[in-house]
Every structure is written in C-alpha cells, then in structure tokens.
Amino acid sequence: MTDLAVTVSYSLSALGLLAGVGVVLAMMRSSRVDSDRGKFAWLLVIPSFAGLSYVLMTLNIGIVEVGDTEVYLFRYLDWLVTTPLLVGYVGYVAGAPRKWIAAVAGADALMIAVGLGATLATGIATWVGFAVSGGFHVVLLGVLYLVFPRFARENRERYRLFKILQNHVGLLWLAYPVLWIASPAGFEYISAVGTAMIIAYIDLVAKTPYVYFVYSERACFAVDPVSADDAETDRTIDTDEMTVADD
C-alpha cells in the first residue's frame, strides 16, 4: 500500500507535468505570439524534464539509501535543472540584466546542491548543510523581491505577469524548507511516504500552473499587430496566385 501510494502520486504528477508540456507547445505554435521574445523554449524544459524525472522515480530508478531514508537523486536533479529556470524566467519577464538573472539562478542551484548534501549527510553536518542552503534561499528571495521589482516597473506590459510569477515562486519556495524540517531528514514529523506525496504535489503545482500563467498572459509577448496583418496578407496573396496558376 505504501509503495502504491507513492507510485500513484508520482504517476499523477508526471501526467500533470505532461499537460504543462502541452501548454508550452501551444504557445510556441501560436502565430499571434512571438515565441522567441517569450523565450518559450526555455519554459518547455521545465515540465518536460520534471515529467521525465517523475517517470524515472516511479520506476524506482536513482534511489540512494541514507540510513533508513531513501533519497531520490532524480528529484534533486530535476530541481537543479528546473528551479533555476523558474526563478531566472521571473527575472527575464521583469527585464532584469543578465547578471541578476544569473545571480538568482545561481543562488537557487546552490540552494539545491547544498540541500542534497545535507540530505545525504548525517549528524551535525545535516543541519550545517541545511543552514547554508537556507542562506542561499534568503539570497534568492532577496533578489526576487528587492531587486527584480525595480526593473519590472520599467516594463509595464509585463508587470502583471511578473507579479504573478514572483509570488507563485516566492510563496511555494517557502514550503520546501518547512517540509524538509518535518521530513525524515529533519525531525521526522512526517513519514517518508507522506513527504514524497506532498513533494510530488508541490512540484506539480510549482511547474504546470507556472507555464499556464505565462500562457494566460501571453499577450505581453504578442506579435506586432501590423507585422501579423502583413504576414496574413502575404499568405492570402500567395494562395490567390497559386489558385490562378492552377487554373
């Protein structure tokens, strides 16, 4: 029953992330949205890589046992790849310089890497690692809420999307350290099965709704209306010419 509960949770997360892939593909295929200006190819990596990771975890691939705790390495690999993209894209939407986007993505990656080390460690090293990881978390939130808004105010057409993504990431990220403390890696208030199921749910909520929010606000990446009309006119003329030639 325990294994079944985790397997079902992971399978549902994988399916939910597949829906996120569909949302990004819909944006990339839209003729009314500038896919390059929206950088949607980067967004495609998020649900795709996360979904693949959950498929592998469902198959019990990449599990390391630390004492009585099972550590899913693909979970951390997923986070190491996708979460810097999640926070970095918030900076892109805000119009922040690359150095700040790289800074927030780097702080996120270090938070995940040190967090993995804390999970694999034992004794006092676990809590030292957790504290260092928490420090990078504070840096990440500082950039997200103190630095990015300065640039977002200069990009009014994207400001609404920025605020949605900023709060979506900022609030959800607060759940992870709390869950880690309550998990078997911390004080064991929550069982390993409960921890796995909660993480699967939060991961899904962090990624598929994220790309949907971009989709719902995609008008800020719209193709220039004049260019779009010209392109439509050109296609009509080409079609008419082909019809005449066929006659």
Q: What is the pLDDT along the chain (247 residues), one digit of tens a residue?
A: 458 889 999 999 999 999 999 999 999 999 999 999 999 999 999 999 999 999 999 998 988 877 667 788 999 999 999 999 999 999 999 999 999 999 999 999 999 999 999 888 888 999 999 999 999 999 999 999 999 999 999 988 999 999 999 999 999 999 999 998 998 888 889 988 899 999 999 999 999 999 999 999 999 999 874 444 444 444 444 544 444 445 4
- Model pLDDT, residue 246: 52
Per CATH, which fold does 2-246 belong to?
Answer: Rhopdopsin 7-helix transmembrane proteins (1.20.1070)
Distance CA 222, CA 244 (A): 34
Q: Which residues pair with 33 in a beta bridge?
A: 222
**Alpha-carbon span 157 to 220, nearest angstrom:** 6
Q: How many CB atoms lie within 10 A of CB 158?
A: 19
pLDDT of residue 26: 95
Domain residues of the chain, as ranges?
2-246
95-98 long-range contacts, CB within 8 A, separation 24+: 95/151, 95/152, 95/154, 95/155, 95/158, 96/147, 96/148, 96/151, 96/152, 97/151
